[in-house]
Structure 1
Amino acid sequence: MTIGIMGTKIGMTQIFDGNGLAIPVTIIKAGPCFVTQKKIIDKHGYDAIQVGYKIVKPNKLNKPLNGHLTKAGLNPLKYLREYRVNHSDISLNVGDSISIDQLKIGDYVNITGNSIGKGFASTRKRHNFNYGPMTHGSKNHRAPGSIGAGTTPGRVIPNKRMAGRLGNQRTTIKNLEVININTDDNLLIIKGAVPGKRGNLLSIQAGKNE
């Protein structure tokens, strides 16, 4: 797998191997993606391939983005992402299609996406803090405790672990095995879980076997 590909999480299910053991799997609709731009170190300062995914109506994009894709001779694409490559590996041209044909069963891939957002969470759930005494009279069951010194320095030190938003962060799960591939419907069957909920945008790149 020389370059990454984008896809959408369909959901999770399970399959059974030859020994009757249940294997949890994630189904991903990956691609087809299209090369929208080639960046070279002489002109842009680095080598990369810009890839587009998911055809939409032109009114879903702004004029600069529509113009960028029209210049490349492509349909309007909702998502764009760059993948760094070596200059010697840039064999793709603008307009070329990238599909899951570059993957095979048994490959390992790294999958990146936004994790599920869980809203505002306490220090117990967010940072795995301990509970206070649960006996009668205690006023510290779930309180965060001291958050800093008093007069000096008279402020909360940055990066203090406190309550706040949990989840909805860019997350990468590495070295997930490709169990099966359906090239007719552009479906990947991946062993294990991937970030996010159903419909989440994912980026799939080569894992440890390449």
Structure 2
Amino acid sequence: MKAIIGKKIGMTSIFSPDGKQTACTIIEAGPCVVTQVKTKETDGYDALQLAFGDKKEKHAPKAEINHFAKANTSAKKFVKEFRDYSIEKVLGEAVTVDIFTEGENVEVVGTTKGKGFQGVVKRHGFSGVGGASHGQHDRQRAPGSLGNSSDASRVMKGVRMAGRMGGDRVKMKGLKVLKIFADKNYILVSGSVPGHNGSIVLIQK
């Protein structure tokens, strides 16, 4: 596989030569630094550790600073390990957006926006109990029946109910690389990407 760590910038749209408009997400991908190279001989498996985003040295533990010093780089905010990396890289080498090409499909992994405790209408798309006639009061957004009463005498597992919504790790597959701006480390992928603007995402293939 090949992958890179990036930061979601926002959404825009681009136009093709025939005038077709395509919504896309702008991601600032890299540059990332290879901070560790794992092999089967030393670690039992092959992997590449990438680091992205600078942070102040006073906010990093001494062990972390020494770890990054082996790669001849400063302290980083985000570190991610990728197994079976297909591109040969050495310790301290930079990984840029150039590893991808325009037109290929990629997967983007991110964490969705946290929406807190939500009801069944917003969380699961319920339509509510129904109209407000026949003596119903404040039932428009109620979940309705939760199951049998006498037989099971309990709510069965898996019933869709109100609860915490969002904050989930989501992988979007089949997103197309529409444009690459190597000078700005920008990559434009078709469609939407999970997370808020400024959130960290992983682009992989």
TM-score w.r.t. length of structure 2: 0.88
Deviation of 1:155 after TM superposition, in Å, equals: 5.3
Residues 35, 50 of structure 2: 8 Å contact kept: yes
For 1:97-108, what aligned pairs fall within 5 Å after superposition? 97-108=94-105
Paired residue for 1:191? 190
Structure 1 residue runs without a partner (length 5+): none
| Contact 2:2–2:87, Cα closer than 8 Å, also in 1 | no
Distance (whole Å) between structure 1 residues aligned to residue 49 and residue 153 of structure 2: 48
Q: Which residue of structure 2 aligns with residue 52 of structure 1? A: 51
In the TM superposition, residue 19 of structure 1 has moved relative to its aligned partner by 1.9
1:93 is aligned to 90
Identity percentage over the alignment?
Answer: 38
Question: How many Å apart are 1:78 and its aligned residue?
Answer: 0.4
Distance 1:44 1:150 in 2: 55
Taking a change above 3 Å as real, the CA distance of residues 138 and 51 of structure 1, as seen in their structure-2 partners, is same
Which amino acid letter does the alignment assign opposite residue 44 of structure 2?
G
1:7 match? 6
- Aligned-pair distance for 1:156? 4.3
Instruction: Tell me the distance in 1 between the aligned counterparts of 2:201 and 2:21.
Output: 25
- Judged with a 3 Å threshold, the aligned counterparts in structure 2 of structure 1 residues 72 and 151 are, in CA distance, closer, same or farther, namely farther
Question: How far does the alpha carbon of each residue in 1:127-174 deviate from its partner, in whole angstroms, 9 at most, with x for none?
Answer: 122311323312443222344556886654444321111112111111
Which residue of structure 1 lines up, in the alignment, with residue 107 of structure 2?
A: 110
- Structure 1 Cα separation of the partners of residues 108 and 66 of structure 2: 30
SS at structure 1 position matched to 2:184 = coil
> Which has the larger displacement, 160-169 or 197-206?
160-169
Provide the residue aligned with 1:129 in structure 2: 126
What is the CA-CA distance between 1:81 and the residue it aligns to?
0.4
Q: CA deviation at 1:119?
A: 1.9
TM-score, with structure 1 as normaliser: 0.86
Q: Counterpart in 2 of 1:143?
A: 142
CA gap 1:180/1:170 in 2 versus in 1, 3 angstroms: same
Residue 171 (structure 2) pairs with residue 172 (structure 1): yes
CA distance in 1, matches of 2:112, 2:43: 32
* Distance apart, 1:46 and its partner CA: 2.2
Q: Secondary structure at the match of 1:46?
A: coil
Ranges in structure 2 where 5+ consecutive residues have no aligned partner: none
Cα separation, partners in 2 of 1:7 and 1:179, compared to 1, 3 Å? same
| Count of residue correspondences | 203
Measured in 1, the distance between the counterparts of 2:154 and 2:67 equals 48
RMSD, matched Cα = 2.1
